[in-house]
Chain A
Amino acid sequence: MVITGVGLVSCFGEGLEGHLNALENPPPPTTDLAGYPVHSLAVIEFDKQIPKKELRQMEGWQKIGVYAAGLALDMAGLKADSERLSQMHMIVAAGGGERDLTADSLILNGLQSTTEKGVYLNDKLASELRPTLFLAQLSNLLAGNISIVHGVTGSSRTFMGEEQAGVDAVDTAFKRIKANQGECFLVGGSYNAERLDIILHYVMGGVLHKGDYKAIDRLGMILGSVGAFLVVESREHAVARGATILSEILHVASNQINRETEFLEKSLSDLLSKVEVNKNTVVFSNSSFEKVTNEAEKKALNALNLPIQHLALAIGSSMEAAFPAAIALATLNLQNAPSKEILITNVGHYRGEAVALVKAAS
């Protein structure tokens, strides 16, 4: 399937201009959250894509996604095409929205000094939580907001599952387009890494890199705020409406082994064996730098002997947004290097492994 629009926001800023040299000597993360480095989002004027009235209903995660979706629709020349937008299919990879950390802390402190914890919780949750916060948290409301702000209403599906959800979104569009189950899709994801509730989650698992920034030899994830959306279509649909084709996805495939009982290196090698690479192929890896998975991916890729660029070093690890972001970066990269082909690897820090092949427009 072909890509006709790309929307990408990250610590580098937005779009092609922002990400032109992102992968060459990327700077270290600039934000520290409770001791954990995070690639925080560049300053973005959200109201360039989102009316102030709608912005007020959203927290960071939704703002990032709705903004990136707008950029993609702009680039694809669909922003003002209300007819096509009303028939466009949307698949969003989403986690969940921001908790009210102040309310949580207040409640936790209060719980320590009360015996009637259940009753206390009832009382405080009802009085401390802003009623509409729920709508800023609900996983499928990122898609809901994209429908409201940008008018995409053909269909709307939200996939969950961290890194693999981003793969599923792209993969489902890929398969449906191939089988004539849809012609034009908006797919992507959003991730706000600047959240202490998220840091807490991953610190519990001991999977984050802490303290001084280390480049490639670090042994843990550094998260990054990313919004990445793509407009993908069948070639026929793109050509018929006179769209500029930016790149083409030739192949998407994934698997999910149980890493306790099966071998990740083998699963990856099997996936890679089905991709046709050549001397112009470069690898864009979304490795999370989790030690064991990193080793397995390194070994599986060794056999191919291709140059590898690590996206997480530039924009951080961004869960649901990671795979769409890799495709977005690949597409932007190919604008200046049309003979290249980019092989993407997306190994989840915990589960799920995927590959994709992107080439320049032809």
Chain B
Amino acid sequence: MKKKQVVVTGYGVITSLGEGVKDNWAKLIKGESGIHRITRFPIEGLKTTIAGTVDFIEKDPIAPELTREMALRAGLEAITMSNIGSKANFPGPLFLGMPPVELEWRQRGEIASKINGEIDYATLIKQAESGNYKPYHQLFLFAQIGEKLKASFGTKGAPVSMSTACATGATAIQMAVEAIRRGETDAALAIGTDGSASQESLIRFSLLSALSTRNEDPTKASRPFSKDRDGFVMAEGAAALVLESLESAKSRGATILGVIEGCGEMADNFHRTRSSPDGKPIIGCMMNALKDAGITADKIDYVNAHGTSTPENDRMEFQGMSHIFGASLPHLPVSSNKSMVGHTLSAAGAIEAVFSLLTMQNSVIPPTINYETPDPLVGLDVVPNVARAQQVRRVLSSSFGFGGQNVSLVLGREV
């Protein structure tokens, strides 16, 4: 049974580079970095003092609010571009990739400040009985962001919110593709968003030694595939894609901006944060994406890598790609957007899908910046430091998450 083709008719993006597709793309191909010294909270005593936070929307954000606001702006950009439906009336469901949210130190401190005597959860609860913190119940429900976005966009049915760690944004796209393929809907809105950089979230990653500590020059810290890479740079952002069945897009005369040709996934059970040394899950994940797209590896012109800049991932990803692409790997351009926008966590898969579509549309491959010291164990053409003009017909975009959740997408330039 031939699979329904799923096309992209609109997209939107926000990162530390800026708001909107135009701004982001211009900076991406110039090799600009959005990573900077953190100003959102005090950095004294922190091992990592840099991030790719989005600071131009709200100086002192609450995570669910910033996460929602970025998703809203990216979603509106995508919907406007696609010209689908009408205002607050999107003709399909919302698949939302988002970070976990919970009460933050500011709110906890606010409640605690009213307590006379010993503060513990029993007294916090007693204070909360005053009813003065009612909005926080809703604000920190997991369903809240999706609910508010549904109200803004007018999407249909209950929004599906998901979290597969670093693969989240790609999972949202995969869910949307599946829904359209089974004829459940002609169109779907897929969003990946993450505005959760806080003292606690930064320190949590820091305690796992996952973050780069190259604080002196923030823009140079994220250096995927380099010999001296030392961890990822935490970042924020959002991206939205309007996906439709080809027939539906054609019948309303929409401009087709690209195709989601295939989605693949595979779970890894080796370790909670590290991937299996034999690479089988990563290889299996990429193979599944190619299989789903009905193509062989030689049809891929460019890989938009997960490329987090951790010693572990970049090596494992290279190993996996060696299996898939074999002898042609040294000649295949592979670059990591994370070198410029950092690791946008729950948004990454979606942001990088949008950048992949822009790559194909503009025939320019964004570089992997900060590539000064190649790693002899990771022999890739990383499109070092400078963007490259090249026709790209198909992209493989991968996202490999903590907890062993892996997703790869095959994106095409045209039907």
Contact surface of A with B, Cβ cutoff 8 Å: 34-36, 57, 90, 94-96, 99, 101, 104-105, 107-109, 111-112, 116-119, 121-123, 125-126, 129, 131-132, 134-135, 137-141, 143-145, 147-148, 151-162, 164-165, 167-168, 172, 175-176, 178-181, 196-197, 199-207, 254-256, 258, 348, 350-352, 354
Contact = CB atoms under 8 A, between A and B. Distances in A.
A141 B131 CA distance: 33
The 9 closest A-B pairs by CB, nearest first: A205-B137, A144-B403, A118-B42, A179-B182, A196-B121, A256-B158, A161-B143, A131-B207, A156-B267
Contact of B164 (A123, A132, A157, A167): A157
Nearest to A156: B267
Nearest to A354: B158
B128 interface: yes
A140 B137 contact: no
Interface in B152-186: 157-165, 171, 175, 178-179, 181-184
A147 B402 contact: no
Given A121-B199, A131-B208, A153 B281 contact: yes
B198 to A, nearest CB: 10
B113 interface: yes
B200 A256 contact: no
B161 A140 contact: no
Interface string B117-146: 011111011101101011011101111001
B272 interface: yes
Contacts of B171: 157
B100 A122 contact: no
B121 A197 contact: yes
Interface in B190-206: 199-200, 203-206
Contact of B163 (A123, A140, A348): A140
B252 interface: no
A118 B199 CA distance: 9
A158 B100 CA distance: 11
Nearest to A176: B178
Contacts of B2: none
10 contacts: A119-B44, A125-B203, A126-B47, A135-B208, A141-B272, A147-B269, A151-B269, A152-B267, A172-B175, A197-B103
B147 A156 contact: no
B102 A155 contact: no
B143 A352 contact: yes
B253 interface: no
A160 B98 contact: yes
Contact of B125 (A96, A112, A132, A196): A196
Contacts of A107: 105
Interface string B304-321: 000000000000000000
A112 B42 contact: no
A200 B103 contact: yes
B140 A121 contact: no
Interface centre among B41, B108, B272, B273 (most CB of A within 10 A): B272
A99 B100 CA distance: 13
A255 B133 CA distance: 28
Contacts of A105: 119-121
B405 interface: yes
Given A141-B272, A201-B103, A155 B162 contact: no
B34 interface: no
B150 A138 contact: no
B269 A153 contact: yes
Contacts of A129: 203-204, 207
Contacts of B199: 118, 121-122, 125
A350 B138 contact: yes
B136 A126 contact: no
B206 to A, nearest CB: 7
A126 B137 CA distance: 27
Nearest to A153: B267
A154 B162 contact: no
Contact of B143 (A140, A175, A196, A348): A348
A196 B403 contact: no
Contacts of A258: 147, 151
A315 B233 CA distance: 43
A350 B269 contact: no
Interface residues of B, number: 81
A154 B199 CA distance: 35
A256 B96 CA distance: 15
A127 to B, nearest CB: 10
Contact of B119 (A36, A109, A158, A351): A109
Given A105-B119, A350-B143, A351-B143, A140 B165 contact: yes
B161 A196 contact: no
Contacts of A200: 103, 121, 124-125, 128
Contacts of B151: 258
Nearest to B276: A153
Interface centre among B45, B157, B159, B206 (most CB of A within 10 A): B45
A203 B160 contact: no
B154 to A, nearest CB: 11
A232 B70 CA distance: 37
A133 to B, nearest CB: 8
Contacts of A101: 120-121
B268 interface: yes
B143 A155 contact: no
A134 B204 contact: yes
Contact of A122 (B46, B143, B403): B46
Contacts of B128: 200, 203-204
Contacts of B230: none
Given A141-B403, A151-B269, 19 more contacts: A118-B41, A119-B44, A122-B43, A122-B44, A122-B199, A134-B205, A137-B100, A144-B403, A154-B267, A155-B266, A157-B164, A160-B98, A162-B142, A199-B121, A202-B137, A206-B134, A207-B137, A256-B158, A258-B147
A162 B204 CA distance: 24
B376 interface: no
A164 B403 contact: no
B158 A352 contact: yes
Contacts of A143: 164, 267, 403, 405
Contacts of A117: 109
Nearest to A95: B142
A157 B133 CA distance: 33
A180 B141 CA distance: 33
A205 B103 CA distance: 13
B272 A135 contact: yes
Nearest to A164: B158
Contacts of B120: 101, 105
Interface in B77-102: 98, 100, 102
B404 A156 contact: yes
Contacts of A204: 128, 133-134, 136-137
A131 B182 CA distance: 43
A134 B207 CA distance: 9
